[in-house]
Structure formats: structure tokens, C-alpha cells
Amino acid sequence: MSRQIATWAGGRWKICSRAMNSPNIERHRFGWLESVCAVATSLLLTACGGDSGAPPAPTPPSLTESQRIAAATATAQSATNACNPIRPFYWEIGDRTAALASGSVELGAGGAPTYTAATSMNIASASKWLYAAYVVQRRGAAGPTAEDVKFLSFRSGYTNFNLCLSGQTVDGCLATGSNGTYTSANDGLFFYDGGHMQKHASLLGLGPLVNAALAAEIRSQLGTDVGLSYSQPQLAGGGISTAADYARFLRKLLDGTLRLGAQLGRDAVCASPTACPSQAVSTPIPSTERWDYSIGHWVETDPGVGDGAFSSPGAFGFYPWIDVNRSLYGVVARESFLLSAMPSYQSVQCGRLIRQAWVSGVAR
């Protein structure tokens, strides 16, 4: 009678047969080999039949830039995802040195593009990120003060802003209607409103400035290579710029030229009245999502659909962002005055997909 026993030799398991002249003696002599065989069999099964001496599976090759570009482009041009309803628009993705991919997406085929990197448009609340960067840059190495942070994270209590007129000064706008009205009940709570930045700019000494002078002052800190003008002297929403100029600003945040780049997400507060009613009063973000707000910019922290990106979407659909790793920037640029459709959030939904496609290399 013989029994098959597994033994290790030459870097692999070998199966051998042993004659059993005396059952008792052989069981004693080869019992340890039977145990080894059982363990080896278990290991082999766990490895799905592979040779335990074989090298590990190779690491999948990293994505090429061409794969990322193809995925992002297909996503932006898709007729079946969230990018389709916001046509026409321009999109761009880049890193701290340059744009890496971009495109103009139209309603139909043919014709000149509606939006390009050079198209000037109202950026609305994307103006907030610019003003916050101006303040942090102006403060220098000392950084923003506690008062700066409170005003720029919209917890100052100045929550009754309406609008500015084109020919006004910063202070003239603040004095219009209820724009400069303080509400003590909102002090310390997040309340999305242009009054915070308007009052802050006045306290900072920008009160006498009209549109052109205001733009020149903001660019004195951001850099004169960042194109910017104002349709009204409203720091939180009066800016006019292009995708190319805003992208230049975002690259300066990424490469450290602008101090705010190292402080993205700093002192962020919950900005969802639904998720944290004791901390937030008013927000433009749908109640289905929970975002945080930092110094003049959002942090997309929703546990379901958020990825931690930093952004500042404007009411008319201009959506600039920086990824959570601070290695990429992006812009979705368009101008829609159909505010009932929430152009800002529509652009966010499209921009997210383009961002995901770039990172994964898979069209969304």
C-alpha cells in the first residue's frame, strides 16, 4: 500500500509516494509530512492554483496623458451625462505649469465656438476666490487675521446684501439699501451673502474705489497678468474675466506664487443648514449635499458625491476648481442667465465628471 506525500524541493512542492510496510510505524514516521501536505494544499488553493515560487503579478501600467485627455474629452462631449444640458461651454484641465487638455463643446456641429479660453464673461461668485487671495497676499507672511477669516468665511453677520450699481464706489455700494446692515443673530454662523466681503473691503480701505481702480488694486496682489475687471464694485460677485485668466490665477495657487494656495481649506466651516443647523443659516448648495466653506472658497466634502475639491462656482455657470491633492486645476466656463435652472450647480455636476474622468482615465 502507498500514500502520496507533498514535500518542498527545488522551489516547488513535489508529490511523492511512500510505501507503508507497517501502518503504525509509517503513520508515526510520516505524520509530520501529512501535516505539511495539508498546509501546502491550503496555500495552493488560496493562491488559486498558482506556483508559490512564482513572482507577484506585475503592477498595472500607469495612465498615459493621452488616455486621460481622451477620457476627459469624451466626458465633456457626451450627450448622455450632466455635461450635455449645459452646452455650449468651454472646459480646461491643467497642472501648476500649464493647461493639459481643453475644448469647446457646442450645441450642434459646425460653426465658431461659443466659448473659448479667451471669452470674457461675468464670473459672479467666482470673484470671491480672487478677493480672498488678494487679502491673504496683502497680509504677507503674517497671514490673514482672525477678523479676515471670519468675514471671508461668511460668519460676520453682514447678511443683507442686494446689489451694487455700476458707477458706485465700494463704500457707495455698501451704503445702498440694506447692503451694509448687520444682523447680530447671524454673527458667528455661516450665511452665504455678499455683504461680508463688501464690509470687509470697506474696513480694509478699499471704500473709495470704483470699478477700474478696484480691479487694478486686486491685480496688484494677484499679478497684472491675471485679467480682471468689474461690472460693479462688488467684491463677492462683480468680476469679469476669461477662462485663460482664471486658469492663470489657479496655477498661481498651485505653484505657491499666491499664499492662499497653501491655505486652501483652512478654517473651513460647515455650510449646510440641513446637516448642521446650529452652524449654518443660508447656502446656495442643494440640501441633498453637504459642503464646507473656507476662506473665499468652497470645499466639496459631501460624503456621497464630494471628492474634497476646492472651488468657487459662479451663479451664471463659471466653475473653477482645484483638486483635493492640489495638483490639478480645472475650469468650466459659460454664461447662462436662466437662474431657475441653477447654472452654477449644473456646471459643478459636469465639472466633477470631467475631473473624475481625468483621474481615472475612464469616460464618465
Going across the sheet that includes 292-293, the strands are 99-105, 89-94, 329-333, 319-322, 310-311, 298-299, 292-293, 269-270
CA 134 to chain centre: 20
Contact at 8 Å (CB) between 214 and 233? yes
Instruction: Looking at the structure, tell me whether residues 152 and 29 fall in a common domain.
Output: no
Which amino acid, 256? G
| pLDDT of the residue at 111 | 80
| DSSP H or E run through 103 | strand 99-105
| pLDDT of the residue at 24 | 39
| pLDDT of the residue at 110 | 75
**Could you report the per-residue pLDDT of 199-212, keeping only the tens digit for each?**
999 999 999 999 99
| pLDDT of the residue at 55 | 62
**Could you report the per-residue pLDDT of 334-361, keeping only the tens digit for each?**
999 999 999 999 999 999 999 999 999 9
Residue 364: partners with Cβ closer than 8 Å, 6 or more residues away: 71, 75, 78, 81, 353, 354, 356, 357
| pLDDT of the residue at 182 | 99
Grid cell 454662523 is found at: 189
Instruction: Looking at the structure, tell me whether residues 150 and 33 fall in a common domain.
Output: no
Q: What is the mean pLDDT of the chain?
A: 89
User: Shortest CA distance to 155 belongs to which of 180, 183, 174?
Assistant: 183
> What is the grid cell recorded at 187?
454673527
| 3-state SS class at 270 | strand
212 in any annotated domain: yes
355 in any annotated domain: yes
| pLDDT of the residue at 116 | 98
The mean pLDDT value for 297-314 works out to 98
Contact at 8 Å (CB) between 290 and 270? yes
Cα–Cα distance, 78 to 344 (Å, whole number): 19
The mean pLDDT value for 279-289 works out to 98
* Whether pLDDT at 45 is above 80: no
User: How many domains are contained in the chain?
Assistant: 2
How many other CB atoms are there within 10 angstroms of residue 338's CB atom?
Answer: 10
| 3-state SS class at 241 | strand
| 3-state SS class at 240 | strand
* Lowest mean pLDDT segment, chosen from 23-27, 150-154, 289-293: 23-27
Residue 172: partners with Cβ closer than 8 Å, 6 or more residues away: 165, 233
* Burial class of residue 261, CB neighbours in 10 A (0-12, 13-18, 19+): buried
Cα–Cα distance, 264 to 84 (Å, whole number): 30
The residue that leads in pLDDT, 237 or 25, is 237
**Could you report the per-residue pLDDT of 68-126, keeping only the tens digit for each?**
999 999 999 999 999 999 999 999 999 999 999 999 999 987 788 999 999 999 999 99
- 100 backbone dihedrals φ, ψ, rounded to 5°: -110, -30
The mean pLDDT value for 207-222 works out to 99
* Whether pLDDT at 316 is above 50: yes
Instruction: Looking at the structure, tell me whether residues 21 and 83 fall in a common domain.
Output: no
| pLDDT of the residue at 109 | 77
The mean pLDDT value for 271-285 works out to 98
Instruction: Looking at the structure, tell me whether residues 69 and 144 fall in a common domain.
Output: yes
Angle at 223 between CA 205 and CA 168, to 5 degrees: 40
Instruction: Looking at the structure, tell me whether residues 225 and 339 fall in a common domain.
Output: yes
| pLDDT of the residue at 168 | 98
Contact at 8 Å (CB) between 291 and 352? no
Instruction: Looking at the structure, tell me whether residues 326 and 288 fall in a common domain.
Output: yes
* Whether pLDDT at 3 is above 90: no
Instruction: Looking at the structure, tell me whether residues 285 and 338 fall in a common domain.
Output: yes
Q: What is the CATH number of the domain that holds 279?
A: 3.40.710.10
Instruction: Looking at the structure, tell me whether residues 318 and 255 fall in a common domain.
Output: yes
272 in any annotated domain: yes
* Whether pLDDT at 286 is above 50: yes
**pLDDT band (50, 70, 90) for residue 21:** very low
**pLDDT band (50, 70, 90) for residue 47:** very low
Return the bridge partners of 124, or none: 239
| pLDDT of the residue at 30 | 34
Cα–Cα distance, 32 to 192 (Å, whole number): 74
The mean pLDDT value for 150-159 works out to 99
> What is the grid cell recorded at 263?
491655505
Residue 32: partners with Cβ closer than 8 Å, 6 or more residues away: none
* Lowest mean pLDDT segment, chosen from 57-61, 187-191, 223-227: 57-61
283 in any annotated domain: yes
* Whether pLDDT at 154 is above 70: yes
336 in any annotated domain: yes
Contact at 8 Å (CB) between 350 and 332? yes
**pLDDT band (50, 70, 90) for residue 56:** low
165 in any annotated domain: yes
224 in any annotated domain: yes
Contact at 8 Å (CB) between 322 and 262? no
Which structural domain range is residue 6 located in? 2-46
| pLDDT of the residue at 58 | 64
The mean pLDDT value for 188-208 works out to 99
* Whether pLDDT at 160 is above 60: yes
| DSSP H or E run through 269 | strand 269-270
> What is the grid cell recorded at 70?
481622451
Q: What percent of the chain has pLDDT over 70?
A: 84
User: Shortest CA distance to 148 belongs to which of 9, 14, 294, 5?
Assistant: 294
CA 193 to chain centre: 22
> CA end-to-end span of the chain, whole Å?
64
Cα–Cα distance, 128 to 122 (Å, whole number): 13
Cα–Cα distance, 86 to 187 (Å, whole number): 37
- 288 backbone dihedrals φ, ψ, rounded to 5°: -75, -10
